[in-house]
Amino acid sequence: MASSCTKYELCCNECGKSYGNRPLSACPDCLAPLEVQYDLESVRGRFTRESVTAGPASIWRYKELLPIPEGFQPDLPVGFTPLVRAKNLGKRIGADNLYVKNDAVCFPTLSFKDRVVSVALANAQAFGFTTVGCSSTGNLANSTAAQAARLGLKACILVPADLEAAKVLNTQVYGARLVRIDGNYDHVNRLCTLIADEYNWGFVNVNLRPYYAEGSKTVGYEIAEQLGWRLPDNIVCPMAGGSLIRKIRKAFKDLIALGLVEPKEVRFFGAQATGCSPIAHAVKNGLDYIEPQRPNTIARSLAIGNPADGPAAAKMIQETGGWAEDVSDVELVSGIQELAEDEGIFTETAGGVTTAVTARLYSQGRIGRDDLTVVCITGNGLKTTDALEGCFAAERAVKPKLTAFDEYIRVVDGQLIGADADLTLAGGAR
């Protein structure tokens, strides 16, 4: 597949200066975040519904709108995850037109971070880095480790020391150097900014951050395409660093600008855990800055107390007429179970947060019953099974005899067998 030839470069969101393409995350002049900007005109007519549909079933079908270096050959079929109608969950929470974007099954490491890492590493290779790394709450660590292994890059990954065991194992198995830091994510991230200054490493979410963040746009492109090239009324999205929610909006704007969808003012709703809710706090109080928090929640993948893109996310949510909510750890565990029981989707703690926040937004009337709403589920429950510890009783073992089974099932869940079960078993079995 040919590489993108769309023109793009790094630009400062605040002062507007541009910096070409290099591993750089903040404007040297005003220290604001840099963002990739495209010459959309250069892709007009080439990026169409037809050209996208003819592309591979992965994020690379949108390669013209990704910052992919000249000559890059996409390797892994990342993304293009299911968008499913959520009728059962909708019935539970009073939503008649609800969809789930299911990145719990994103390839290759079961979270939306696969999207951002694949774009970041394409650039890491082009910039000549042979060692890559990240600061991570887990999912990013998994994805960076896996994709670096595939590309033959060395990886050094820094995580908070209290990370879930599954996320640690899911990083180490790929042969990455995992360093546990005695602190929370904000400590880890700060250390990584210093390391990136000293070592010639490509940190996907530090010096490669502007490129990395662009990968998130593919969630938005996919939602629009999977809805039949139209935009939803609302997006509900989990927030950690605050990047994903903004990039989904950027994706929608791209599609409107290029004429692939009808213009629409989509409202954006952010979801956080109460134990780490600096962006929700800013939205609820109408702030354009972030008051940092010390995270205290089991939703560790959202536990960023000083989110880099927090101020911009808070501002954007308010601009779109959206809102942000936060839920307790107890509520998020219920959210995990409800999404699993209703839709057969097992999400991690962050997805429990998003599900529970969605329910609350409907009950508050902030989202209308008939609205077309897409809930972004970004990670897989197999990585955070400890959150459900104690939710299910350990069942005793039953003897492999029909009578023993029948006796047992009548005690624990008689409703499972209908009224005629007695007749079936009444004869020879007893």
Partner 1 sequence: MSVKVILPTALARHTDGQKSFDSQAGDLPGLLAEFDVKFPALAKNVKDENGKLRRFVNVYVNDEDIRFLGGDAHQFEDGDEIMLIPSIAGGSCADSA
* DSSP helix/strand/coil, 356: helix
Which of residues 125 and 378 has its CB atom nearest to partner 1 in the complex?
125
The answer to whether the CB of 12 falls within 8 A of the CB of 29 is: yes
Closest CB 300 distance from partner 1, rounded Å: 19
User: How far, in Å, are 69, 120, 355 from residue 73 at the CA level?
Assistant: 9, 14, 36
Q: Does 136 bind partner 1 (CB under 8 A)?
A: no
The dihedral through the CA atoms of 356, 362, 363, 365 has a sign that is positive
Q: How many residues lie near partner 1 (CB under 8 A)?
A: 38
Determine the interface stretch with partner 1 among 96-104, 204-212, 267-275, 295-303 (rule: CB under 8 A).
Answer: 204-212
Which of residues 199 and 405 has its CB atom nearest to partner 1 in the complex?
199
Q: Does 207 bind partner 1 (CB under 8 A)?
A: yes
- Contacting partner 1 (CB under 8 A), which of 50, 57, 71, 128? 128
The answer to whether the CB of 241 falls within 8 A of the CB of 272 is: no
The answer to whether the CB of 101 falls within 8 A of the CB of 83 is: yes
Q: Does 197 bind partner 1 (CB under 8 A)?
A: yes
Q: Does 85 bind partner 1 (CB under 8 A)?
A: no
Write each residue from 296 to 335 as x if it is in contact with partner 1 (CB under 8 A), else as -, in one continuous string.
----------x-x--x------------------------
Determine the interface stretch with partner 1 among 14-22, 232-240, 326-334, 340-348 (rule: CB under 8 A).
Answer: 14-22
d(CA 301, CA 318): 24
d(CA 97, CA 370): 6
Q: Does 39 bind partner 1 (CB under 8 A)?
A: no
Q: Does 126 bind partner 1 (CB under 8 A)?
A: yes
Closest CB 206 distance from partner 1, rounded Å: 4
Q: What are the DSSP E strand ranges found in 274-400?
A: 323-327, 373-377
The answer to whether the CB of 334 falls within 8 A of the CB of 352 is: yes
User: How far, in Å, are 13, 22, 109, 215, 338 from residue 256 at the CA level?
Assistant: 21, 29, 31, 18, 34
Q: Does 193 bind partner 1 (CB under 8 A)?
A: yes
Q: Does 127 bind partner 1 (CB under 8 A)?
A: yes
Q: Does 206 bind partner 1 (CB under 8 A)?
A: yes
Residue 69: half-sphere exposure toward Cβ, Cα within 13 Å = 18
Q: Does 161 bind partner 1 (CB under 8 A)?
A: no
Residue 394 DSSP symbol = P
Q: Does 250 bind partner 1 (CB under 8 A)?
A: no
Q: Under the rule (CB under 8 A), what is the footprint of partner 1?
A: 20-26, 28-34, 69, 126-128, 186-187, 190, 192-194, 196-198, 203, 206-207, 209, 289, 291-292, 294, 306, 308, 311
